[in-house]
């Protein structure tokens, strides 16, 4: 009985203490203490949480690197593919621009019949300035036919097989073209060289040659049609002691970037060699 009384008393005291504490807490008496405990709690939990996250990151990082490397490889492959596409498209755009310019040129000169051909090679000898094109006798090409681009004169067909031809450029050391200066109407001869430089020879001393003058084919000799642009005068050399003036020419055609050319099919070169007098002993 005594034991039962003692336990009831203990329970009552305990409830009273708890009730008292709660009453004090609701009354706001524990606020400083609870604030301190709360702050300590949050700080401790924040520290533990951040350490946990750091450890978790450390443990899971290698997996991320593998995934990232894989993704990086995929993206690099994609970039390479896109770069190849960009280059291909740029090439197509460049080709289209050249073709459009060639079409404009052929429309501007409707009297001529043209055959477009791609430059597929160059002469293996560095002394010879020739290109090989992918059109031949099957396409109507014949020896001697003039070759042009929208920029100007390229040269003439020198050898033909069924589906390819070799074109002698006007820069070849064996090439000579009869030309005239557009402004002064002076006749001259354009000569190529081993270094691909063009020079104007046989310019009369009294002719007025100005730097920048446009030079066109004259049509003399019947090898090339007249009035095809060839280049611009870059430099004039005039010496009183010499019979003729000389000039250096900047070609209108960029021979290093030659990719597509037009062969004039309906121009038949005239062979004037039988008319040239020969010395008989």
Exactly one of 27, 110, 126, 274 binds other proteins (CB under 8 A); that residue is 126
273 is a site residue for other proteins (CB under 8 A): no
Alpha helices by DSSP H, listed for 2-30, are 2-26
Among residues 32, 62, 110, 124, the one that binds other proteins under rule CB under 8 A: 124
Position 214 contacts other proteins (CB under 8 A): no
Residue 234 lies near other proteins (rule: CB under 8 A):
no
Q: Which of 11, 193, 266, 268 binds other proteins (CB under 8 A)?
A: 193
The Cα angle at residue 200 between residues 195 and 203, in degrees rounded to 5: 155
Neighbours of 18 (CB within 10 A): 10
Nearer to other proteins, 146 or 225 (CB): 146
User: How many residues sit close enough to other proteins to count as binding (CB under 8 A)?
Assistant: 24
Name the nearest CA neighbour of 145 among 120, 119, 114, 121: 114
For the residues of 40-58, what is the DSSP string, one character each?
HHHHHHHHHHHHHHHHHHH
The residue among 27 and 124 lying less far from other proteins, judged by its C-beta, is 124
- φ, ψ dihedrals at 150, nearest 5°: -65, -20
Q: Is 168 in the site for other proteins (CB under 8 A)?
A: yes
Out of 128, 220, 260, 265, name the contact with other proteins by CB under 8 A. Answer: 128
| 166 binding other proteins? (CB under 8 A) | yes
Q: Look at the block and give the residue holding tokens 């050399």.
A: 237
Residue number with CB closer to other proteins (114 or 247): 247
- Encode 193-218: b = buried (16+ Cβ within 10 Å), e = exposed: eeeeebbbebbeeebebeeebebbbb
Q: Is 182 exposed, middle or buried (0-12, 13-18, 19+ CB in 10 A)?
A: middle
| Chosen residue from 60, 127, 212, 280 binding other proteins by CB under 8 A | 127
Q: Figure out which of the listed residues 109, 182, 183, 199 binds other proteins, where binding follows CB under 8 A.
A: 199
Q: Does 212 bind other proteins (CB under 8 A)?
A: no
Sole binder of other proteins in the list 117, 191, 249, 262 (CB under 8 A): 191
CA distance linking residue 218 with residue 229, whole number of Å: 10
159 binds other proteins (CB under 8 A): yes
- Asked if 111 is part of the footprint of other proteins (rule: CB under 8 A), the reply reads no
- With binding defined as CB under 8 A, does residue 276 bind other proteins? no
Give, in order, the Cα–Cα distances in Å from 52 to each of 45, 56, 62, 70, 175.
10, 6, 17, 27, 84
- By CB under 8 A, name the one of 123, 202, 214, 269 that touches other proteins: 123
Q: What is the largest CA-CA distance in the chain?
A: 166
120 interacts with other proteins by CB under 8 A: yes
Which residues in this chain contact other proteins in the complex, by CB under 8 A? Answer: 120-128, 130, 132, 158-159, 166, 168, 172-174, 191, 193-196, 199
């Amino acid at each position: 009985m005594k034991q039962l009384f003692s336990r009831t008393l203990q329970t009552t005291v305990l409830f009273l203490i708890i009730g008292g504490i709660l009453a004090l807490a609701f009354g706001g008496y524990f606020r400083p203490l609870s604030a301190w405990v709360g702050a300590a709690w949050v700080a401790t939990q924040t520290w533990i949480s951040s350490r946990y996250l750091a450890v978790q990151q450390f443990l899971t990082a290698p997996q991320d690197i593998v995934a990232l490397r894989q993704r990086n490889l995929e993206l690099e492959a994609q970039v390479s593919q896109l770069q190849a596409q960009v280059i291909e498209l740029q090439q197509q755009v460049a080709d289209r621009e050249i073709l459009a310019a060639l079409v404009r040129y052929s429309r501007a000169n409707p009297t001529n019949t043209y055959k477009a051909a791609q430059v597929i090679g160059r002469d293996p000898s560095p002394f010879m300035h020739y290109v090989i094109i992918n059109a031949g006798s099957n396409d109507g090409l014949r020896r001697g036919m003039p070759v042009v681009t929208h920029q100007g004169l390229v040269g003439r067909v020198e050898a033909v097989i069924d589906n390819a031809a070799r074109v002698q450029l006007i820069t070849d050391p064996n090439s000579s073209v009869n030309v005239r200066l557009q402004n002064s109407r002076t006749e001259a001869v354009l000569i190529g060289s081993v270094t691909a430089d063009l020079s104007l020879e046989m310019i009369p001393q009294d002719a007025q040659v100005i730097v920048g003058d446009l030079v066109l084919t004259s049509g003399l000799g019947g090898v090339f049609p007249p009035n095809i642009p060839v280049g611009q005068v870059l430099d004039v050399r005039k010496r009183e002691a010499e019979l003729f003036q000389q000039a250096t020419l900047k070609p209108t055609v960029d021979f290093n970037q030659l990719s597509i050319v037009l062969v004039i099919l309906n121009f038949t070169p005239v062979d004037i060699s039988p008319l040239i007098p020969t010395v008989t002993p």
